[in-house]
Amino acid sequence: MPRLDSGEEITDTPIRRGMRMLSLSLLALLAGSPAHAEEGMVSVGTPTSDYYVIQPGDTLWSISSRFLNDPYGWPQLWSLNEYITNPHWIYPGNRIYFRLQDHLTPPSAQPDDVPAENVRVAQAAPADACDFPARFYESQSATPMQAPGLIGTAEELNIRGKITAADEPGTLLGAPSYVYLNVEDGDTQCGDTFSVFRVVQKKVKANGTVLGSMYRILGEVQVIRVDDKVATARIRNSYSEIERGDVVGDLVPVGLIVDVKEPTGDLEANIFARLTNEQILANIQETVFLDRGTADGIKVGSSLYVVERRDPIHLDDRADETLPERVVGRVVVVRATEDISTAVVVNAARDVQVGQHLTTTPNKSENGER
């Protein structure tokens, strides 16, 4: 059974009942513990003072493990403490607030040691809205993001050639190195700008159809000289390491400016692929691919909730159709074709995985009511 530094045991039952709920009250978690905590530990008072003062060596993972009895709950703590821009960097002396937002109640406390202009105040849902929490409904205009991945064929990307040599001795290349391209189409001219691609998965399927390959966009090169079958180019931008053997094709923008809005309408989709297979807990800013496109009403700028029906204690991620849909994230579409679309994860309370369902209307019944 977990213990505080004082050596007294935390009552186990309320922790186990509450550790996976969206509304996590530190008071409930500390029920049965001493009424006073050691200095620098947790300040327990009114419901607006449920916070922990960060100590040297702390991480969101360790804080979540210590007080929520669940290290995988750290994205929930991060979602409340939005003044933390990078979850890997937290600083001693700052506060971590524990009372998380739900559909009826906004966060009960805001960091009082952070400038007001750096704190985003959460929007409270209508008081009469009684439903499973539909989180992540705030809007953000002109939001910068990157989408360094796409799915298509070599013909669709107009692959022109590949990098055969470079002016640097290392294997990993980046701006502003010079590279040599084996272009043979005769159309390449000085000043042309290409994207650099690498295949990360072949024969990607969606809805039973092979769509082509998944490409990672590594950077951009600009041609400065054209000789017989060889073009010299300078790496203008690099988003990942570039290597000899990577191919070049039509320019595809990676940096995008998109308005992030509350999901509206009646859209459904599923994540059928993701750009990386790294097991990151909160895949914010990751590129994912949806099995619906413009033919289904999805367009650039469409927002959808990531939902799940399961008890996280089951490690096989199996769905339980008897449970309601719980919102665990949100994506915004940045590219769309007729059949599929590319989206970026803008919010995540859990890891976002292939196979997860997306919708604009969580828990919509057969008659359209929520």
338 with 236, same domain: the answer is no
Q: CA triplet 281, 282, 288: central angle to 5 degrees?
A: 110
162 with 242, same domain: the answer is yes
Q: CA triplet 51, 126, 323: central angle to 5 degrees?
A: 80
104 with 169, same domain: the answer is no
Is residue 186 a part of any domain in this protein?
yes
Please tell me the distance from the alpha carbon of residue 96 to that of residue 49, in angstroms, as a whole number.
10
Which among 214, 238, 253 is the end of a domain?
253
6 with 120, same domain: the answer is yes
β partners of residue 52: 42, 96
Please tell me the distance from the alpha carbon of residue 245 to that of residue 163, in angstroms, as a whole number.
5
270 with 247, same domain: the answer is no
Number of domains in the chain: 3
Contact 10, 19 (CB under 8 A): no
247 with 262, same domain: the answer is no
Is residue 130 a part of any domain in this protein?
no
Cis peptide before 176 (omega within 30 of 0): yes
Question: What's the confidence (pLDDT) of residue 287?
Answer: 94
Question: What's the confidence (pLDDT) of residue 134?
Answer: 60
For the domain that residue 204 is a member of, what is the CATH number? 2.40.30
The length of the chain is: 370
Is residue 286 a part of any domain in this protein?
yes
Distances from the Cα of 327 to the Cαs of 75, 95, 137, 196, 363, in angstroms? 14, 26, 11, 36, 10
Is residue 368 a part of any domain in this protein?
no
Question: What's the confidence (pLDDT) of residue 303?
Answer: 95
Over residues 298-353, the pLDDT tens digits come to: 999 999 999 988 887 776 667 788 888 888 889 999 999 999 999 999 888 777 88
Distances from the Cα of 54 to the Cαs of 50, 57, 63, 82, in angstroms? 13, 9, 9, 15
21 with 101, same domain: the answer is yes
E-assigned strand segments in the chain:
42-43, 51-53, 95-97, 140-146, 149-152, 161-166, 178-181, 193-206, 209-227, 230-238, 247-249, 255-260, 268-274, 287-290, 303-308, 326-336, 341-348, 357-359
Contact 97, 53 (CB under 8 A): no
Contact 279, 351 (CB under 8 A): yes
Please tell me the distance from the alpha carbon of residue 292 to that of residue 297, in angstroms, as a whole number.
8
| Sheet containing strand 95-97, strands side by side | 42-43, 51-53, 95-97
237 with 263, same domain: the answer is no
Question: What's the confidence (pLDDT) of residue 53?
Answer: 81
Single-letter amino acid code for the residue at 151: I
Closest CA to 181 of 166, 198, 197: 166
Is residue 167 a part of any domain in this protein?
yes
For the domain that residue 314 is a member of, what is the CATH number? 2.40.10
Is residue 335 a part of any domain in this protein?
yes
Question: What's the confidence (pLDDT) of residue 108?
Answer: 38
Is residue 140 a part of any domain in this protein?
no
Domain assignment of residue 39, given as a range: 1-125
93 with 56, same domain: the answer is yes
Question: What's the confidence (pLDDT) of residue 278?
Answer: 63
What is the token pair recorded at 105? 């109640």
Which among 253, 274, 303 is the end of a domain?
253
Which among 78, 110, 125 is the end of a domain?
125
For residues 262-279, one letter each, b for 16 or more C-beta atoms within 10 angstroms of the residue's C-beta and e for the rest, the string is ebeeebbbbbbbbbeeee
113 with 153, same domain: the answer is no
Question: What's the confidence (pLDDT) of residue 42?
Answer: 35
208 with 111, same domain: the answer is no
DSSP 269-330: EEEEEES-----SS-TT-EEEES--GGGT--TT-EEEEEE-S-TT-TT----TTSPPEEEEE
186 with 272, same domain: the answer is no
Instruction: Divide the 370 residues of the chain into consecutive groups of 10 and give the mean pLDDT of each group.
Output: 36 37 35 32 35 81 77 75 76 73 43 42 46 73 89 94 93 93 85 96 92 95 92 93 95 91 94 79 82 96 92 73 87 95 89 90 62
Q: CA triplet 73, 79, 84: central angle to 5 degrees?
A: 110
Q: How many CB atoms lie within 10 A of CB 338?
A: 9
pTM over 0.85: no
For the domain that residue 56 is a member of, what is the CATH number? 3.10.350.10
Is residue 133 a part of any domain in this protein?
no
Please tell me the distance from the alpha carbon of residue 326 to that of residue 321, in angstroms, as a whole number.
12
